[in-house]
């Protein structure tokens, strides 16, 4: 049973525009939500996280929004750059030993 779902396997965006990656979850016990970025032939790298008690967290061009009532979170990248092209995984966590990943969304930023 997939506790975290990323329903869009891929997304293409023009350079300079906004990228919005979406994630839905079913487990209301998650304490944190995280986004990881993965380039080919590399391991995932941590991008940004948000506590379940917040609704927004911003770090430079990256902002994560959490809507607990809808069990939905999104990652906004503004402005998108070609170097942002990667696979993005969202995850819900109740600690590192209870970390559930989505299936990933491949973002392509077109120059």
Q: Which residues bind another protein (CB under 8 A)?
A: 2, 4, 6, 31-32, 34, 36, 41-46, 49, 89, 91, 93-99, 101-104
Angle at 8 between CA 92 and CA 12, to 5 degrees: 120
The residue among 58 and 78 lying less far from another protein, judged by its C-beta, is: 58
What is the nearest approach in angstroms of another protein to the Cβ of residue 102? Answer: 5
What is the nearest approach in angstroms of another protein to the Cβ of residue 62? Answer: 15
CA distance 58 to 84: 16
The residue among 48 and 79 lying less far from another protein, judged by its C-beta, is: 48
Phi and psi dihedrals of 2, rounded to 5?
Answer: -80, 110
Beta bridge partners of 96: none
């Amino acid at each position: 049973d997939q506790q975290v779902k990323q329903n869009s396997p891929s997304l293409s965006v023009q350079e300079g525009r906004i990228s919005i990656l979406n994630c839905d979850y079913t487990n209301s016990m998650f304490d944190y939500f995280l986004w990881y970025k993965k380039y080919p032939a590399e391991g995932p790298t941590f991008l940004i996280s948000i506590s379940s008690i917040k609704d927004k967290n911003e770090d430079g061009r990256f902002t994560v929004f959490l809507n607990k009532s809808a069990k939905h979170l999104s990652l906004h990248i503004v402005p998108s750059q070609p170097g942002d092209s990667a696979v993005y995984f969202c995850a819900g966590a109740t600690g590192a030993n209870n970390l559930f990943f989505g299936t990933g969304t491949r973002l392509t930023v077109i120059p």
